[in-house]
Structure 1
Amino acid sequence: MSWLLLQLAVLGVALAAAVLILISFVAFITATKMPHLHQHEEERFFLNARGQKETLPSIWDSPTKRLSVVVPSYNEEKRLPVMMDEALGYLEERQKQDPTFTYEVIVVDDGSKDQTSKVAFKYCQNYGSDKVRVITLVKNRGKGGAIRMEQMAIACGSRAHLEKESIAQRSYFRTLLMYGFHFLVWFLCVKGIRDTQCGFKLFTREAASRTFSSLHIERWAFDVELLYIAQFFKIPIAEIAVNWTEIEGSKLVPFWSWLQMGKDLLFIRLRYLTGAWRLGQTKKKN
């Protein structure tokens, strides 16, 4: 009996090893090179308030603003005004209090099928293209693709302090998915950050150029790879509690999005582990 159990144990270990090798092989051969920041010529430009094309500045250029706020948007014609009104109201008030404070809000329309760009462009006309710019991606690339289109340090907004309240409003299934995702993030990629998926992240220009130029993932798990890269380069990261209010109408489907993120987390780890993706010193690009 003991001999049979030993054989079964050995067989189980062998099968697990074979599966891991197979997954690693698939992760390696399906690894892609870092996507180009601009895949389409049209994405090199934005429209100013008069509707004229202007060349989009690069993150490698000298800074002209104290703060750049990048807003990735996909089919958000109804929710965008709520966010823009509140954000611009705060930024304008901040500028009145401190005239040296300068800002820009960059709305990146991630290939929307609705009127997201037109809604955003109205703010450009009202506030001027010096403060609000709209970039329209020709092809939908996900949250990471949209954000990449814009002393090293990163401040991560965290909703972890709101977790108990949010759990009370979730189903047991969604709570289980949430804890499973948090475990995978901790086990495979990023340690020490309780909320990797919060949409608020503040970068110094140096940190942004170092991390964004090394990204591969363009969809929801991009936040995790971004923080993985930051920890690899030993960029200081601070997690800061924020008050976060969800606006109704989210396009996120929890089960399928978390399934996709789980697959991406595994591939992130395996592709860096096998050397399919490598991190090195970032060089300035034209």
Structure 2
Amino acid sequence: MTGVAGDPAVSVVLPAYNEEATLEDTVEATLSTLAEFLPDGDFEVMVAEDGCTDHTPQIADRLAARDERVRHVHSEERLGRGGALERAFEAADGDVLVYFDTDLATDMSHLEELVEAVRSGEYDLATGSRWMPGREADRPAKRGVPSRGFNLLVRGLLGSDVRDHQCGFKAISREAFSTLADDVEDDHWFWDTELLVRAQRQGLRVKEFPVAWEPKGDTKVDLVRDVLGMGSQLGRLWWQLSVRPRITPRVSFGAGLLLVAIAVALMSTYIDFGEVVREMRRADPRLLAVATVLYALSWPIRGYRYGDILHELGFHERLGFLTGAVFISQTGNLVLPARGGDAVRAYIVKMRRSIPYPSGFASLAAERVFDLLTLAGLSGVVLVGYAASGRLGEVIVAISGGHPAGRTAAFVAMGVGLVAIAAVLGLVFSARSDANRIRTLVSRVSSDSYGRVVADVLERFVGDLQRVGGDPAAFSRVGATSVVIWAIDVLVALLVLVALGVRLEPVTLIAVCFFAVSVGNLAKVLPISPGGIGLYEGAFTALVVGLTPIGVSTALGAAVLDHALKNVVTLVGGVVSMLALNVSLTTAVEETADMSETDALRE
């Protein structure tokens, strides 16, 4: 930081990224305009230079050396527009913090009104507006239409009273900025909007006034910045302010139970649950106990497989910790909507073992890919076996006929299986080519720095996946472990059927169990209900009934017992693991939700 200032009342910050062509004129215009209504020594102009790659830093240094009212706040790395503003505001001396875009698109005749609105103490925050009645900006359609659409979304979703959230012409008091700074999470283009919305939510006094504005230079809609970046931030803020405060753990659990209750109510229209309960009661408790122990033994194998995946990414952890992390994440998936437990595992390995979020999510993605590939492969092998034996028609009838719930689940499973196979093939071919084309693809739709940051994260994510899929030995090892894990899952279902007194030819029973368990687990991949309760039972029952002489009551009883037994083991293991690792599921969920997007991007 160069240049020296006195103790000014007003600090004007000019966010600058590669502004060598306009910066000097902008600084001179700002100084002369401020001098028209403020005493000398009552203001400073700060150039918030944000990791520029042109001659902007040198120009800013020269201006600061020439005029003590000018300061240069330099950043070696790209902080983003919001990040650069926050850094400069924290370093500023003034009680009134002002910023506007360096292209001076807003007429500088409005600067006094902007400053005095806050300096007078009448308002905490002031912003210019291009869309207020009587002074609407004459903007080209490619600028005006997206801007109006965005502002309508912000007003509708977030309840803002401001008409123009993105006008780069704002002032805020030091006290108000201190109040809001820790809450504003975005570091880039959405920063303005979040500042205004949070100010209104906290009851701060906001003034919006019309300004004369003229577009400078050319612009274009940037897909990553404007659609993915701004859109995701809008959704994130809406969730934080409007939805999450209403979703307590009790509400979340209740919603999951409600979904299950609805599914049960629909199923009860064509299933005699009294008969199902009677079937379940006559199950052999000794075989159920064996099935429970067998399923519990599969969890260290899951931990070993997860450790194998992390090992390929350069992280080495103990089996006990990894098994506990898997237990906790799967417990989260049972009680949280939308497979929220997966994000919890990424949080655990980050907080407990400093594994970066991109690598944590990549390891989870790799695990899911192997799971889906194994399940699709197992069901495919059985399907080929049925076709070779001339019984393919029975499979078609089982999937297309029968109960609506089972039919829906079976079709969902087929879709998930096809997607899984496509994803694995893409991963394998990508890994073999050693080419990561993410940056090229992102650059085709985005020239903004936000797009470059997104490309950095995606490159790391895809690169981590390629490291697992690109090593033949690791691929084979993880694949073999996955087969063992799901073979145990199938064996548990087989023991449950035998415990209910089912007597079939061993080959038929094994084939049906492999097919039913594989399709059932593929069906529950969609996060429709916590733990896939309902989808799994529907697919399992439809296939068992369609491919064997087993009745609906027995098949559904087996599906319910099989799923319940596995969920109980998961819950018990999850609770024990949370105690052993000192992890609170609710705290992990809250802190995972609080994790800002930029935290992940900075990893």
TM-score bucket (shorter structure): 0.5 to 0.7
Counterpart residue identity of residue 10, structure 2:
L
Q: Give the match for residue 31 of structure 1.
A: none
Confirm whether residue 242 of structure 1 aligns to residue 211 of structure 2: yes
Q: CA 1:185–1:92 in structure 2 vs 1: closer, same or farther (change >3 Å)? A: same
Secondary structure of the equivalent of 1:254? coil
2:131·2:164 contact (CA, 8 Å) conserved in 1?
A: yes
Alpha-carbon spacing, 1:196–1:244, altered in 2? closer, same or farther (3 Å): same
Provide, for residues 160-215 of structure 1, a one-character-per-residue CA deviation record: whole Å limited to 9, x for no partner: 2443522xx324xx544233212211122251101111111111111111112321
Would you tell me which structure has more strand in proportion to its own residues? Answer: 1
Corresponding residue to 2:29 among 73, 77, 86: 86
Residues 247 and 118 of structure 1: is their aligned pair in 2 closer, same or farther, counting only changes over 3 Å? farther
TM-score using structure 1 length: 0.66
| One-letter code aligned to 1:92 | A
Question: 2:536: which partner in 1?
Answer: none
1:258 counterpart residue number: 226
2:136 alignment partner, SS class: helix
**Deviations 1:39-69 (Å, cap 9, x if unpaired)?**
xxxxxxx1236xxxxxxx9xxxxx9321100
Percentage of matched positions with identical amino acids: 30
User: Structure 1 regions of 5+ residues with no counterpart?
Assistant: 1-45, 50-56, 58-62, 279-286
By relative contact order (CA 8 Å, sep 6+), the higher-ranking structure is 1
Larger Rg: 2
Q: In 1, distance between residues paired with 2:51 and 2:211?
A: 29
Task: Give the aligned residue type for 2:130.
Answer: R
Distance 1:85 1:193 in 2: 31
- 1:72-105 Cα offsets, whole Å, 9 max, x none, are 111111121232121111123434xx45x60011
Partner of 1:40: none
SS of the aligned residue for 1:191 comes to coil
Superimposed CA distance per residue, residues 233-266 of structure 1 (whole angstroms, 9 cap, x where no aligned partner): 1000000122234433x6x642323212122111
Structure 2 match to 1:211: 180
Paired AA for residue 134 in structure 1? H
Corresponding position of 1:65 = 8
Secondary structure of the equivalent of 1:84? helix
The normalised TM-score by structure 2 is 0.33
Aligned residue-pair number: 210
Confirm or deny that 1:134 pairs with 2:72. yes
Match of 1:232 in 2: 201
C-alpha distance in 2, partners of 1:73/1:215? 21
Q: Distance in 1 between matches of 2:31 and 2:178?
A: 25
Q: In 2, Cα distance between the equivalents of 1:214 and 1:207?
A: 12
Q: Following TM superposition, by how much is the alpha carbon of 1:274 offset from its aligned partner in structure 2, in angstroms?
A: 2.2
* Equivalent-residue separation in structure 2 for 1:157 and 1:178 (angstroms): 14
1:201 aligns with 170
Which is helix-richer, 1 or 2? 2
1:125 to partner: Cα distance: 1.6
- What is the letter of the counterpart of residue 242 of structure 1? V
Greater Cα shift, 195-204 or 263-272: 263-272
**Residue 269 of structure 2 is aligned to residue 269 of structure 1:** no
Report the secondary structure of 1:194's partner residue.
Answer: coil
Say if 1:209 and 1:71 are closer, same or farther in 2 by CA, change over 3 A: same
Q: Which runs of 5+ in 2 are unaligned?
A: 90-120, 246-592, 596-603
Q: 2: CA distance between counterparts of 1:244 and 1:217?
A: 25
Whether contact under 8 Å (2:137, 2:214) holds in the other structure is no
The structure-2 alpha-carbon separation of the partners of 1:83 and 1:117, relative to structure 1 and needing over 3 Å to count, comes to same
Corresponding position: 1:144 with 2:115: no
